[in-house]
Structure formats: structure tokens, C-alpha cells
Amino acid sequence: MHPSSVSVFDPLPYRARRERIAARVDDGALLLHAGSLRTRSNDTEYRFRPDSDFHYLTGLAEPEAILLLRPGRDPACTLFVLPREPEAERWTGRRVGPEGAAEIYGADAAYPLAALDEQLPRLLDGVVALFTPFTRPPALEGALTRALAHLRRYNRQGKHAPITFHDARHLLGEDRIVKDAAALASLRRAIDASAEGHLSAMRATTPGMFEYELEARVEYEFRRRGSLPGYTTIVGAGANATILHYVENNAPLVAGELVLIDAGAERDNFTGDITRTFPVDGRFTSAQRDLYEIVLAANRAGIDEAAPGGSIDVIHEVCVRALAEGMRALKLCEGSVDEIVETGAYQRYYMHRTSHWLGADVHDAGLYCVSDHPRPLLPGFVFTIEPGLYIDADDEKAPAALRGHGVRIEDDILITEDGHEVLTAMVPKDIAALEAIVGLDHR
């Protein structure tokens, strides 16, 4: 959140998250870094996007900022930020400064970054357990190393450095996996913007366009709703749809081919993730219809399994079986459905997992297994269900009419108290609905 938007910034959700984390940190401390600007080329930089864990606890989106959380101590929440500098801000944008970090973002204490070496030893003195990412940027690593050395050097004078270190990523991931009300509201806004991007691209599609034109349509809708792409948009036409993370987006759209769009908008540091596949000219061929119906059946079968107490492993197994049945029917694989599944023969055409957690990161934080068992789904979990089939253009084992086609259908699912909600239900995926909307702008 930028300081120019302070009128709409609500610090309460971030404070509530810090309080939840504080209960798990107990008498330890949590140390996080917001991240640094990254060079794009020469002296130009990418737009800054803060570390997801840091932003999750603060709402602050400024580079180099540092959070130190010390439950039960005074100050409990400390922020180190870039100072206010009018000349620097003229070139690179406004900063909140230490005063804004306290007044706007709710820090109990705030200092300029230059004070880190002076303040960190004092603030870490007596902390037994330190939670911090095991990979830290050089500036923070150096300051932490110096602070620990100082405290150990003066141990005889009563100074005490932390003696145990824990990975903060695991700590934060286990909180982030259950979406609180604010996270879910942001996620819904992101998914709504994502949906509008997909709908716009469907309406605009016509033979002769290029993949990048659909990318532009998608991302225009994101931006006009105050969002950014949550990841690099994939627009794969024809055989390009068989490349899972195809991002060149520079090929023409040809009548008679399918086009796959995998795109999600990010809002308030939460991202949607939607994939749809549809015919460039608005009509499925018979072979495309057969292939698409298999993936759609798998998508629906997986969604039907989404409920509290279930698991994404079971969802994956159900989707794989549905795909295997279809592969057998289309003569993509030989043998019984059980044989296709047990031997892994299906992996020739379906080589990825069906689901991943979704939230502040498109592949969000949180363990998939607990005590060596698939994690049971709980209300508040959000994840994708995205089965697909990918048949290379030169695959001589596949029927000729199916070669060079890739189909993926991806929805975002929220687990509720009594089942699930398909957050992406507003984006059509039935064949009749797709044929009704594709190319609508040109009719």
C-alpha cells in the first residue's frame, strides 16, 4: 500500500496477523526483509513487489524495509525503513519514513535503515529463538551477523544472543494457508479482475490476431481494475499450448486451432490463477471437442471431491483416473484404466500435478503433507484444480487429429464449512458457453 493511499489503508488485518504469529513465536522474535529493487537492464529497475511474508504482516510495500517482531517486549513491532528524502523522492517516489511507518502501519517503533546496526543488538538481546528466512539479502545478513557477534562478545556483561534459529517461511506459511477475511476479500478482488481479463480475451479472439494481442486484452482489464499480473501471462495457440509455461506469446492465431490462456491478476499482493482453452474461430472440431470434454470431466470430478477432510492428493487421483478413462477411449493409451494409472502411462500426456495452494503467491506457501500424510483440507484453504492434456505435434503414437493440441482448465477453489466454492465460476468453460462468447466482439 502506498502512502498516497492512506485514506483506504486498514492496519487492523495486519495487526491481527502479527498477533497470531506472535502467539506461535512465543518468547522468540521474527525478522523479515521486504526485498530489494531488481535491475531490469543497465540503470532501469523492475517495479518493486514486496516479499509476500513481509507484506502479509505489515501492508508496507517499500524496498529494503525490515520488520522485527518481539512478542511480549517493548517495542513489540519495530520497522526499519528508508528515511524521507525530498530529493530522492522526486526521482523514485514517495516514502513513508519512520514517522509514517509508526502512524500509518502501526509499528510500535520505527527507525531509518541507517540505525539498524545500532538498534538490532539491543532489540535482539535476550531473545532465545529467532525466526527468519534462511536466505537473507546481504544487507540484512551483515547487520544480523554483526549484532550476534556483539551480543556474544559481551555475554559476560549479561548480553544474550539468540541460540536457536528457525525458518520463518514455514511459520508464515502455516498462517497464510488459512485465508482470513481480509485475505479472502483481496483474493476475490484479484479473481474478479482475472475473470474480466479472460472474458475480454474470449470476446476479442479471432483468426489472424497474435497471441500478444490477447495478452494485451487480458492485462488491460487487470490494470483498469487496479491490478497487475500475478505471474507472466501464458497465451499459447496451437501446438504452443502443449508447452506448460509458454510465455513468448508471439505466434498468430490460426482458424481451426485452440488457444490456451493461463493468466491471473494480483490485487493487494494476492493473485488469481485461471486457465481456459477455446477454439480460435469459435467452434470446436469433433476431435477438439472429444479432447476438451475429457479434461472438463476431470476438472468437474476434481471439484466434486473438494470438501473439508479431503486432500489435494485425492483430487489429483480422481482427475488422473478421469483423464485415463478418456485417454483410453481416444486410443492415446492402451490397457485398462487401472493399468494406465498404475504404470504411469498417462504421464505422457498429463505430466503435472492437479493442484497448488493459492494466495499471496501464485504457488502459495503452506505444507502439502503433515506427518508424512496428505494434508486434510480445512475451511479457508484456497487452491487450484487444473487438469490438462498435452499432445505434441509430432507424437506419432497419438491419432493425427489430436496432435498439436493442448487443453487445460483451471479453477480456483475455496473450502467452506460444508463443501466448497468455485471462485472462478464466472468464467465459462462449457463448450456451448465458450462457443457463444468467443469472437463476440467481431459479430
Annotated catalytic residue 408: yes
Catalytic residue among 213, 361, 386, 412: 386
Pairing relationship of beta strands 109-112 and 77-81 according to DSSP bridges: parallel
Same structural domain, 157 and 219: no
Q: Shortest CA distance to 228 belongs to which of 187, 252, 201, 194?
A: 194
Same structural domain, 158 and 225: no
For 79-91, letters b (16+ CB in 10 Å) and e give bbbbeeeeeeeee
Q: Shortest CA distance to 382 belongs to which of 414, 410, 356, 353?
A: 414
Domain count, the chain: 2
Answer with the one of 175, 200, 217 that is the final residue of a domain.
175
Catalytic residue among 47, 90, 245, 443: 245
Same structural domain, 389 and 305: yes
Annotated catalytic residue 361: no
Catalytic residue among 170, 223, 289, 352: 352
Annotated catalytic residue 2: no
Counting Cα atoms < 13 Å in the Cβ hemisphere of 158 gives 1
Distant-in-sequence, close-in-space partners of 51: CB < 8 Å, separation ≥ 6: 32, 33, 34, 35
Catalytic residue among 62, 176, 390, 411: 390
| CA dist., res. 123 & res. 78, Å (int) | 9
| CA dist., res. 420 & res. 108, Å (int) | 39
pLDDT band at 7 (very low <50, low <70, confident <90, very high): very low
Same structural domain, 237 and 107: no
Whether the predicted pLDDT of 56 surpasses 60: yes
pLDDT band at 1 (very low <50, low <70, confident <90, very high): very low
Overall average pLDDT of the 378-391 stretch: 99
pLDDT in tens, 283-324: 999 999 999 999 999 999 999 999 999 999 999 999 999 999
Angle CA(307)–CA(56)–CA(263) in degrees, nearest 5? 60
Give the type of residue at 381.
F
Annotated catalytic residue 273: yes
Whether the predicted pLDDT of 6 surpasses 60: no
C-alpha 361: how far from chain center: 3
Same structural domain, 369 and 419: yes
pLDDT in tens, 185-231: 999 999 999 999 999 999 999 999 999 999 999 999 999 999 999 99
Same structural domain, 188 and 161: no
Q: Is 70 exposed, middle or buried (0-12, 13-18, 19+ CB in 10 A)?
A: buried
Contacts made by residues 9-12, CB under 8 angstroms, sequence distance 24+: 9/59, 9/104, 9/105, 10/182, 11/59, 11/104, 11/105, 11/106
Task: Confirm if 155 and 190 have CB atoms less than 8 A apart.
Answer: no
Annotated catalytic residue 51: no
| CA dist., res. 204 & res. 252, Å (int) | 14
Whether the predicted pLDDT of 4 surpasses 70: no
Annotated catalytic residue 386: yes
| CA dist., res. 73 & res. 181, Å (int) | 28
Distant-in-sequence, close-in-space partners of 285: CB < 8 Å, separation ≥ 6: 256, 279, 401
Overall average pLDDT of the 253-264 stretch: 99
Same structural domain, 326 and 435: yes
Share of the chain above pLDDT 70, in %: 98
C-alpha cell of 151? 551480543
Annotated catalytic residue 350: no
Annotated catalytic residue 372: no
Overall average pLDDT of the 430-441 stretch: 99
Catalytic residue among 338, 363, 430, 442: 363
Query: What is the secondary structure of 372-430 as a DSSP string?
Result: TEEPPP-TT-EEEE--EEEE-TT-TTS-GGGTTEEEE-BEEEEEETTEEEETTTTS--S
CATH number at residue 415: 3.90.230.10
User: Which SS3 state, helix, strand or coil, does residue 1 take?
Assistant: coil
Q: What is the pTM of this model?
A: 0.96
- Could you tell me the residue range of the domain that residue 168 belongs to? 3-175
CATH number at residue 153: 3.40.350.10
Catalytic residue among 262, 266, 281, 364: 262
Annotated catalytic residue 373: no
Same structural domain, 170 and 235: no
Same structural domain, 164 and 203: no
Mean residue pLDDT of the chain comes to 97
Q: Shortest CA distance to 92 belongs to which of 45, 33, 60?
A: 45
Same structural domain, 234 and 383: yes
Answer with the one of 175, 190, 222 that is the final residue of a domain.
175
pLDDT at 92: 93
Annotated catalytic residue 262: yes
Catalytic residue among 268, 273, 325, 364: 273
Answer with the one of 132, 159, 175 that is the final residue of a domain.
175
pLDDT at 334: 97
Whether the predicted pLDDT of 434 surpasses 80: yes
pLDDT in tens, 137-189: 999 999 999 999 999 999 999 999 999 999 999 999 999 999 999 999 999 99
Same structural domain, 95 and 188: no
Annotated catalytic residue 43: yes
pLDDT at 8: 77
Same structural domain, 220 and 167: no
Give the type of residue at 280.
V
Whether the predicted pLDDT of 430 surpasses 50: yes
pLDDT in tens, 92-143: 999 999 999 999 999 999 999 999 999 999 999 999 999 999 999 999 999 9
Catalytic residue among 55, 198, 356, 405: 356
